[in-house]
């Protein structure tokens, strides 16, 4: 895992956009984002049990697997959004970037690769993209039935209960 402030320079979202300003795992924890390096799926099983995750699936984001819809999907994943559930992703192969908003509402880019696991709290604004390799294989963990409902950033989300809880816990 490598984390840093996003440079906000226009250009392909799949480029590193590294400002040169490092962000540590401790910095990420202050906004509720947790990182672990797990080399065995048995370690993921333990984490899932600890956090009450009963379901999981795997997704491969690549032109080979997704065909003609790949570019549209990658653009959709890059829209700033939040979820009303905690989001856990375990990278099984390839690389990708999760961008999250910090306390100053700036983007922090988190580069993940094989064996990296990230936990995003419910209510945090974030986005995802592959890197220039256009390939990532990820395991997604779910507390109940698999779902992925993004709520794109909009002023009305300020009154969303999950967003309000996140703000009170990490941004106040």
| Annotation: binding site for Ni(2+) | 81, 83, 87, 126
| Annotation: binding site | 81, 83, 87, 126
Please report how many Cα atoms fall inside a 13 Å half-sphere around the Cα of residue 8, on the Cβ side: 7
Give residue 78's domain range. Answer: 2-171
CB atoms under 10 Å from CB of 26, counted, come to 7
| Annotation: binding site for Fe(2+) | 81, 83, 87, 126
pLDDT score recorded for residue 160: 97
149 confidence band (pLDDT: 50, 70, 90): confident
Which CATH number covers residue 160? 2.60.120.10
Would the pLDDT of 60 be above 90? Answer: yes
Number of compact structural domains in the chain? 1
Per-residue pLDDT averaged across 126-136, rounded? 98
Per-residue pLDDT averaged across 87-98, rounded? 97
Query: Residue 95: left if φ>0, alpha if ψ -120 to 50, beta else—which one?
Result: beta
CB atoms under 10 Å from CB of 31, counted, come to 19
Helices (H) and strands (E) in the chain, counts: 5, 11
- Residue 64 CA to residue 139 CA, distance in Å, equals 18
- Residue 17 CA to residue 167 CA, distance in Å, equals 26
């Amino acid at each position: 895992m490598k984390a840093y402030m996003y440079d906000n320079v226009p250009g392909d979202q799949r480029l590193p956009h590294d400002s040169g300003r490092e962000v540590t795992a401790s910095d990420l924890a202050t906004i509720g984002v947790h990182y672990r390096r797990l080399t065995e799926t048995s370690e993921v099983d333990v984490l899932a049990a600890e956090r009450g995750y009963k379901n999981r699936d795997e997704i491969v984001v690549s032109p080979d697997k997704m065909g003609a819809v790949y570019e549209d999907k990658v653009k959709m994943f890059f829209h700033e959004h939040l979820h009303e559930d905690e989001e856990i992703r375990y990278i099984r192969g390839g690389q990708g970037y999760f961008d999250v908003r910090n306390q100053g509402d700036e983007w922090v880019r988190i580069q993940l690769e094989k064996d990296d696991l990230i936990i995003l709290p419910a209510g945090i604004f974030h986005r995802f993209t592959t890197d220039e390799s256009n390939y990532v294989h990820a395991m997604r963990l779910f507390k109940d039935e698999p779902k992925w409902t993004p709520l794109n950033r909009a002023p009305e989300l300020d009154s969303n209960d999950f967003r309000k809880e996140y703000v009170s816990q990490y941004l106040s």
